[in-house]
Structure 1
């Protein structure tokens, strides 16, 4: 009986450990884009007060090839020490979509605080949003808005 129980117990421990480690998080492959833009990118549209504040930067980005969600150019730039702000420009329309917060304070082992793919609509944000909290946040660009899919908060020290 003991010979059968030990392997079963080890298998159970491995399964429980694996299910905890593989927490159900959105994956890029779960959200493929159907529409990949290949034409000439539209000129950026400066509409909002924030767009006007960063119009020089947005004009510099205008016309670049899409690198996110099929037809968006997504980019970030510094807004202070270990702080970035992020924007997506629609290559089809020129419309601007801002990530509604700045990102800062990501862990030292994180190479890119914002992860994304051209062929998929989610982004993965590592760090703090507007200098509050911290963790890993999964957003998806839907109807010109970044919608939170899942948040995995970092435990408080």
Structure 2
């Protein structure tokens, strides 16, 4: 019986070590939208509190058209984008319940996100834009949305190969 327990314990320890080593040694982050699943609200933006964000007043003309829009990101947010210059897009999250402008991230090559996941992939196609020869400043970034704003999870020079709906 003791021998069987030792073998079982050894198997469990080796499995854990293999799993940790696999992810620690990987060139890219093991991040998938399914790792950040959230329940999706059927709410829509009713009001927008421009004073809730330092850039709120500057965004007012861009955000007005977002009223009535449904949740499209992280379960309770409406994410909208607008141009902010050459090769610049701003992705801004509005909480559909409170109307607060929560946070923004900027991109050069779009973003991938889903209503049922709190993860967003910024610049998913940047690798293709430069035929794999990325400038030092270029990368694909992975963020998670929290009630306080975007939290960076990972930055990569590797191409994004996951699914994208936008």
Structure 1 residue 143, shift from structure 2 partner:
2.0
Distance 2:54 2:93 in 1: 16
Q: CA RMSD in A?
A: 2.5
**1:68 alignment counterpart:** 73
Which of 102, 121, 127 pairs up with 1:97? 102
Please report the TM-score for the alignment, with normalisation by the length of structure 2: 0.66
Ranges in structure 2 where 5+ consecutive residues have no aligned partner: 1-21, 127-134, 159-166
Structure 1 residue 151, shift from structure 2 partner:
0.8
Distance 1:148 1:71 in 2: 19
Please report the TM-score for the alignment, with normalisation by the length of structure 1: 0.70
Aligned residues: 125
Deviations 1:21-41 (A, max 9, x none): 7x333110001003x211343
Cα gap change, 1:82/1:62 in structure 2, threshold over 3 Å: closer, same or farther? same
**2:151 alignment counterpart:** 147
The structure carrying a bigger strand percent of its residues is 1
List 4+ stretches of structure 1 deviating above 2 A: 39-42
**Maintained 8 Å contact 1:72/1:88:** yes
Cα gap change, 1:20/1:72 in structure 2, threshold over 3 Å: closer, same or farther? same
Deviations 1:108-129 (A, max 9, x none): xxxxx210000100000115xx
Cα gap change, 1:27/1:74 in structure 2, threshold over 3 Å: closer, same or farther? same
Structure 1 residue 79, shift from structure 2 partner:
1.4
